[in-house]
Structure 1
Amino acid sequence: MTTPRELDLTTISPTRLWVPKHVMITRAAADLPHTAEIIRRCERAGVDDIRVLSGNALTSLRGATERETYASAKNTLAVVVAPPSALKPQPIPPSADWRIDLARGCPAHCQYCYLAGSLQGPPVTRVYANIDDVLDGIRTSAGRGSVTRGTLERGDEGTTFELSCYTDPLGIESVTGSLAAAITRVGAGDFGSDVQLRFTTKFDDVGELVGLDHSGRTRIRFSVNAAEVADRFEGGTARMPARLAALRAVATAGYRVGLTIAPVMPVPGWREQYGALLDDVAAAVAGIEDLDLTAEIITHRFTPASKEVLLGWYPRTKLEMDEDLRSQKRSKFGGVKYVYPKQTMKEMREWFTEELDRRLPAARLLYWT
């Protein structure tokens, strides 16, 4: 990948935009101000089927088969009101102090989907129309936390809030505007000067974001991976060169940025493939002044529940989910995850730690898991 000498931030054109075929608006969400913005964006994108429901239940979501249900759900945006249970920020180590959700559900087609098994029902993307209530969680939790707040390693980040780990907020931004609203309000200091937003994306639609007054209070992290993993398993997302071009664009616009290298898989030639990825990232950020770049590395894992859901969504997947090739990792609540064997994890961790420092010294590794 070559590094552009000059970047015209006014002409950024995304390679991947999600436009839903169906938009369903619940009765409770219909008259909220942010719903009007969502409708405006959807109409601008050419969505013809925008319906206000008579109630608050999302019905008629299931097809005759699991595949039909999946396909229909992935083409549907539901505008709903976040329930009280979703308005209380939750701790989310090791990423951030707290998690707040702008939406739940994702339009991408990643065959290892992190949401499989954790969301109930068909995978419809639900965006929250009561955005003021959602963002108010920043106010109530600012100044508290144990992951970044008050720590020696990450204390300069202040109180951190992970935006929507149950969706890709940039992937739906063109039809919601929720991300721009959050970044603008935090940048304006509505919740104080010592807070920071952060989110991860596999998309590249950053044209609107580069013009926002973010005041350095948002870190945009791009999910990146080896070519074989990204090309085979990350359907419906921006390709890797486009993500790296977007990384450069937002870094040039003064955003704090990051890499979420995930999910790491020991595919054949993984050292060469991930080495090429790190070299491409280094080229993408070369020459950027005051670069603030972090890295978070997450290996692939699955649960019995997520495996069942993923095989229903992607029955012909080539994703390795063989319990006999994995080690069990139990949570404090008794849940089971299947991770790579100890020796494999050790080899990958040592390699990434060394090569990240050698090939991309500007990046600060936050954690490996």
Structure 2
Amino acid sequence: MAVDRENVLRVTRIYAEEAALELERGREIVARWPDADVVPVASHWQIPEVHGDEANVSRWVRIKTEALVLGVKKSVTTRVNGRSADFIAPSLSNGCAMACAYCYVPRRKGYSNPITVFANAEQILRHLARHVAARGPKTEPNQCDPDAWVYDIGENGDCSVDAMISENVRDACELFRMMPTAKASFATKFVNRDLLDWDPAGRTRIRFSLMPADTARVTDLRTSAMSERIAAINDFVDAGYEVHVNFSPVILTPSWLADWGELFDQLDSALHARAKAQLACEVIFLTHNESLHEVNLGWHPKGEQLLWTPQTQEEKRSQNGATNVRYRHALKGQAVAALTSLIARKLPYCRVRYAF
């Protein structure tokens, strides 16, 4: 289910910490929606009206559309990653206006998770600048990048949508534009063409998430259409971004491999030579969660017909101790091999950075 730019956010209520309103960035954000009610809150984590209340399941999408939370990030730390990026930067936001049925974030924060924007972006970016400077040049290539330290700046949200709310994302990209030893990175399911005017000078990597369109119509709710994401890649490459793709999540429907083959053909036909020359991908198979499954049954049961398939899934203990489900080990191993082989055949120029 695609959503256009005008309807992804129609903010009518801003829940704001007092400390956020005291910062210039916080005041700028409030000024963008002069007709919105500003509701004081003690903590951006504890707002029963928007998350943490089971009764909100029926209002899931409405909350994401109309509510915005404004807070101050208390813990400003950078974490080692080593898979998609070398490091996970401190978040400039948390939550999302989109409503992908498999999203892991609601498992942590509550039954709906609208965007929380952090007003102390200046503090966060100062921390990042110090962290990059302390690393010095990257001397050994790795799967993240051969030359630069890669920092994921959008782990807990979608930076393309966040850029419609504040200057946080642009300020981050401007910071990395001036850093020859590092680059920013974020995954996105939303095409925001305002970013084409930013002149990132190759220091920001955008990872467009792709999956077969028929599956996306059921699971990728309130996102840009798959055809729109694919069509944007050349333009973002031409604008100075490094553009990779995420083939994720891979969901094993009855026709999954044929559907992915069709998607790869569409991608190959759409990309120009410069886009192909710099392309790389990540392949991530579906991980689901029983608690999220129960939540989804309350607002989007159709999606669970694809996501919750106990006959093909087994329990998995995640790094943070949560119990999730993934495809059974032997089945997943066969599927990973089949999909990476298909990529090699249909997109031979596309380097697979990792697949799991």
The yes-or-no answer on 1:138 pairing with 2:128 is: yes
Give me the whole-angstrom Cα distance separating, in 2, the residues matched to 1:299 and 1:52.
Answer: 40
Q: Percent identity?
A: 24
TM-aligned CA deviation for residue 351 of structure 1: 2.1
Give me the whole-angstrom Cα distance separating, in 1, the residues matched to 2:298 and 2:337.
Answer: 35
When residues 140 and 324 of structure 1 are mapped into structure 2, their CA distance, relative to the original with a 3 A threshold, is: farther
Partner of 1:92: 81
Q: 1:159 aligns with which of 149, 153, 160?
A: 149
Partner of 2:348: 361
When residues 355 and 79 of structure 1 are mapped into structure 2, their CA distance, relative to the original with a 3 A threshold, is: same
The yes-or-no answer on 1:32 pairing with 2:47 is: no
The yes-or-no answer on 1:247 pairing with 2:236 is: no
Indicate the structure with greater helix content: 2
Please list the CA deviations of residues 17-58 of structure 1 after superposition, one character each: whole Å capped at 9, or x if unmatched.
Answer: 522332233211113122233234445xxxx21416275566
TM-aligned CA deviation for residue 159 of structure 1: 1.4
Structure 2 unaligned runs (5+)?
A: none
The yes-or-no answer on 1:321 pairing with 2:308 is: yes
Amino acid across the alignment from 1:91 = V
Partner of 1:292: 278
Give me the whole-angstrom Cα distance separating, in 2, the residues matched to 1:196 and 1:332.
Answer: 26
The yes-or-no answer on 1:106 pairing with 2:66 is: no
Give me the whole-angstrom Cα distance separating, in 2, the residues matched to 1:231 and 1:355.
Answer: 23
Give me the whole-angstrom Cα distance separating, in 2, the residues matched to 1:315 and 1:154.
Answer: 37
**SS state at 1:213 partner:** coil
Amino acid across the alignment from 1:222 = F
Paired residues of 1:150 and 1:158 also in contact (CA < 8 A) = no
When residues 29 and 327 of structure 1 are mapped into structure 2, their CA distance, relative to the original with a 3 A threshold, is: same
TM-score, normalised relative to structure 1: 0.84
Give me the whole-angstrom Cα distance separating, in 2, the residues matched to 1:90 and 1:152.
Answer: 17
The yes-or-no answer on 1:169 pairing with 2:159 is: yes
The CA RMSD over aligned residues, in Å, is: 2.6
Amino acid across the alignment from 2:169 = L
Please list the CA deviations of residues 278-297 of structure 1 after superposition, one character each: whole Å capped at 9, or x if unmatched.
Answer: 11112222233684211001
Paired residues of 2:185 and 2:205 also in contact (CA < 8 A) = yes
The yes-or-no answer on 1:65 pairing with 2:55 is: yes
Paired residues of 1:61 and 1:72 also in contact (CA < 8 A) = no
TM-aligned CA deviation for residue 133 of structure 1: 1.5
Give me the whole-angstrom Cα distance separating, in 2, the residues matched to 1:321 and 1:64.
Answer: 20
Amino acid across the alignment from 2:12 = K
Please list the CA deviations of residues 121-148 of structure 1 after superposition, one character each: whole Å capped at 9, or x if unmatched.
Answer: 6413101111012223322432678xx8
When residues 348 and 324 of structure 1 are mapped into structure 2, their CA distance, relative to the original with a 3 A threshold, is: closer
TM-aligned CA deviation for residue 237 of structure 1: 0.7
**SS state at 1:344 partner:** helix
Aligned residue runs from structure 1 range 341-356, under 5 A: 341-356=328-343
TM-aligned CA deviation for residue 356 of structure 1: 1.4
TM-aligned CA deviation for residue 103 of structure 1: 0.6
